Amino acid sequence: MRRTAATIFLALSVLLLPAAPIAGIQAMELELAVRAVPLNHTEPTQTQIGRLTWRGGLEITSPYNRFGGLSGLLISPDGAHLTAIGDAGFWIVARIVHDANGFLTGLAESQISRLRGFDGKPLYGKTSQDAEAMTEMAWLNRQGRLDCPALCLLGSRENVVVPEAARAGAARIGARLEEITGARHDLLMEAPSVRDRVWVGIDRFLAENGL
């Protein structure tokens, strides 16, 4: 349960980053070079390891200098499209190409555009652009109120996500929100005196819930 509580707490810290294409925001075509990657380079025809079936792998490069560092990815329910975000302030969409047997072979119709804030303006600077947890955000948005105790810790000097939106997100899933005075975004990378208060808050929460 300690791991579960910590996971919820970390996920909420990135809850408010834009993580998918936004209607009305213009994207540009993205040139990609895609190369199929076999499961076993020494035996390219191998597609099975025990119960695992290799459905295809891709090595993707682009001449566009902002491409790369993809850290979050979602596949559409029909498996036909992907949306990805990177740590350089961009989102990417593409159509997934499969062969006649359903194996992954490439990407097509790729587009790229800047991540934008709640004000509709592009995000600039590493602190604002470095998006990470697109899949965690999607999972949380599907949950509604959680059926287990949850804790969200928010730094009083939060400088990455919008504090008001983080509070609203915590309320939506039924999490208790505690503010750590003097802390910024990376709570567990703060000075020891601040980090100690973070762990005190987590330990108190666990103890109050008999964990």
Q: What is the pLDDT of residues 117-155, one digit of tens each?
A: 767 777 777 666 666 666 656 666 666 788 889 899 999
How far lies 100's CA from each of 95, 97, 103, 104, 105, in Å?
Answer: 16, 10, 7, 10, 10
Range of lowest pLDDT (29-33, 68-72, 164-168, 196-200): 68-72
Query: Is 0.85 topped by the overall pTM?
Result: no
Q: What is the pLDDT of residue 7?
A: 37
List pLDDT tens digits, range 77-124.
Answer: 888 998 888 777 788 889 999 999 888 889 999 999 888 776 777 777
The residues, any chain, with a CB within 8 Å of residue 180's CB and separated by 6 or more, are 153, 154, 155, 156, 187, 194, 197, 198, 201
Mean pLDDT computed over 55-78: 84
Quote the CA–CA distance of 115 and 12 in Å, as a whole number. Answer: 19
- Per-chain mean pLDDT for the chain: 79
Best CA proximity match to 107, nearest among 71, 57, 141: 57
Quote the CA–CA distance of 156 and 101 in Å, as a whole number. Answer: 53
